[in-house]
């Protein structure tokens, strides 16, 4: 699909949502402690499993945080990010998902919960709780997660390609993709702080280094010293494409404010990170958090934005289902 058409899709979706009246996220019926009565140990089990999982592989923390974002943006937070297709047509087969990890971790948590509370805790809720625990176990805040999501059984690869902003997005594109999900400029500035943890393959930002406008040039908004470092890590030929670099160099596994300092000083790793500087309101937030002496205010904002993102087009009540396995084959 051409770039132009791809960018139009969210705009069309936005018009449809506007025409249909209040978005379903406004009617979501999630609560804190949905499993209080039916599986009171649910949150504790997820946390204990997450701690064990991250002890074995600490690099899965950012992957599980990212999974919640991908789950929520593609067809709502309905666990469909986990579904599998033998024909390669599931969300997780789409280009933005190629670098996703953590599917086995979710399945491991699910298996444990099936032993303790069969057919009770949805995959979508497990992903939301795991994302929260991943942040907390990366020295970030702990916040209450709303629960009560049910799982969808539909997955369409094209939705992932259409609903997830590509890393070369400018701020106008980013705002379009997020407003379709009822998330505003402030939510964008706050949620992007998730890039305080985790890594990226060179492919996601290589164009900025070698062929920005198609004239074999470099992105002028990228700090020259940082660009030089990135060119060393990611040579033009791309190697075997497996190299990963921290999105927030220097503190890539600690959930902190250094992401904002990094973006302000260098223009960030992805164009979409740097794009925060090209809009007065998002830039204001970056500057504020880059200068903040304590992360407390950011932690509060982050918790609120995650709860809001976690309400995106959820299934609840008798909608959807609760499965025994998250990654079932749909075809």
Q: Is 258 in the site for ligand HEM (CB under 6 A)?
A: no
Q: Token pair of 82, please?
A: 């986990």
Which backbone phi and psi does 244 adopt, to 5 degrees? -125, 140
Number of residues that bind ligand HEM (CB under 6 A): 23
Q: Is 200 in the site for ligand HEM (CB under 6 A)?
A: yes
Q: Token pair of 220, please?
A: 């002028």
∠ CA 70-121-30, rounded to 5°: 70
- Tell me how far, at minimum, the Cβ of 101 lies from ligand NAG, in Å: 7
- Tell me how far, at minimum, the Cβ of 247 lies from ligand HEM, in Å: 6
Q: Is 132 in the site for ligand HEM (CB under 6 A)?
A: no
State the binding partner of 197 from ligand NAG, ligand HEM, none, CB within 5 to 8 A by kind.
ligand HEM
Contact 328, 86 (CB under 8 A): no
State the binding partner of 92 from ligand HEM, ligand NAG, none, CB within 5 to 8 A by kind.
ligand NAG
In the complex with ligand NAG, the residue whose CB is nearer, 285 or 299, is 285
**Would you tell me which residues interact with ligand NAG (CB under 6 A)?**
31-34, 36, 88, 92-93, 97-98, 100, 153, 211, 214, 287-288, 290-291, 319-321
Q: Is 198 in the site for ligand HEM (CB under 6 A)?
A: yes
State the binding partner of 21 from ligand NAG, ligand HEM, none, CB within 5 to 8 A by kind.
none
End-to-end CA gap in the chain: 24
State the binding partner of 25 from ligand HEM, ligand NAG, none, CB within 5 to 8 A by kind.
none
Going by the DSSP 8-state scheme, the letter that residue 246 receives in this structure is E
Q: What is the DSSP string of 289-302?
A: HHH-S-SHHHHHHH
Secondary structure class of 281 (helix, strand, coil): helix
- Tell me how far, at minimum, the Cβ of 82 lies from ligand HEM, in Å: 16
Q: Token pair of 216, please?
A: 């074999």
- Tell me how far, at minimum, the Cβ of 45 lies from ligand NAG, in Å: 16
Q: Token pair of 94, please?
A: 């789409």
Contact 238, 203 (CB under 8 A): yes
Catalytic residue at 262?
no
Question: Per residue in 69-97, is it b (16+ CB within 10 Å) or e — as a string?
Answer: bbbbbbbbbbbbbbbbbeeeebbbebebb
Q: CA distances (Å), 303 to each of 53, 209, 320, in order?
A: 23, 34, 26
Q: Which of 108, 136, 186, 201 binds ligand HEM (CB under 6 A)?
A: 201
In the complex with ligand HEM, the residue whose CB is nearer, 10 or 327, is 10
Could you count the other beta carbons within 10 Å of the beta carbon of residue 297? 12
Strands 31-32 and 199-201: unpaired
In the complex with ligand NAG, the residue whose CB is nearer, 88 or 235, is 88
- Catalytic, out of 70, 195, 262, 316: 70
Site for ligand HEM in 87-116 (CB under 6 A): 99, 101
State the catalytic residues.
70
Using CB under 6 A as the criterion, which residues of the chain lie in contact with ligand HEM when the complex forms? 62-63, 65-66, 69, 99, 101, 165-167, 169, 174, 191, 194-195, 197-201, 204, 270, 272
């Amino acid at each position: 699909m051409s770039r132009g058409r791809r960018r139009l899709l969210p705009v069309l979706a936005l018009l449809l949502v506007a025409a249909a009246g209040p978005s379903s996220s406004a009617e979501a019926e999630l609560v804190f402690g949905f499993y209080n009565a039916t599986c009171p140990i649910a949150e504790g089990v997820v946390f204990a499993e997450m701690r064990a999982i991250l002890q074995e592989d600490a690099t899965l923390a950012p992957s599980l945080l990212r999974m919640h974002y991908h789950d929520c943006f593609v067809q709502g937070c309905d666990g469909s990010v986990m579904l599998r297709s033998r024909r390669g047509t599931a969300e997780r087969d789409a280009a933005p998902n190629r670098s996703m990890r953590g599917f086995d971790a979710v399945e491991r948590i699910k298996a444990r919960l099936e032993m303790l509370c069969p057919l009770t805790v949805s995959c979508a809720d497990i992903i939301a709780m795991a994302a929260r625990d991943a942040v907390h176990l990366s020295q970030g805040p702990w916040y209450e997660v709303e629960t009560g999501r049910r799982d969808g059984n539909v997955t369409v690869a094209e939705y992932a390609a259409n609903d997830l902003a590509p890393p070369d997005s400018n701020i106008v594109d980013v705002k379009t993709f997020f407003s379709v999900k009822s998330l505003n400029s402030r939510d964008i500035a706050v949620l992007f702080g998730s890039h305080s943890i985790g890594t990226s393959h060179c492919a996601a930002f290589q164009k900025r280094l070698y062929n920005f406008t198609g004239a074999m040039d470099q992105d002028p908004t990228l700090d020259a010293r940082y660009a030089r470092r990135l060119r060393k890590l990611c040579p033009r030929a791309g190697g075997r494409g497996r190299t990963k670099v921290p999105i927030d160099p220097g503190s890539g596994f600690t959930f902190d404010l250094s992401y904002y300092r990094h973006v302000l000083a260098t223009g960030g790793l992805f164009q979409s990170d740097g794009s925060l500087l090209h809009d007065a309101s998002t830039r204001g937030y970056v500057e504020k958090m880059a200068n903040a002496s304590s992360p407390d205010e950011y932690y509060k904002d982050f918790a609120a934005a995650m709860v809001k993102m976690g309400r995106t087009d959820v299934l609840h009540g008798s909608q959807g289902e609760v499965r025994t396995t998250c990654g079932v084959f749909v075809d």
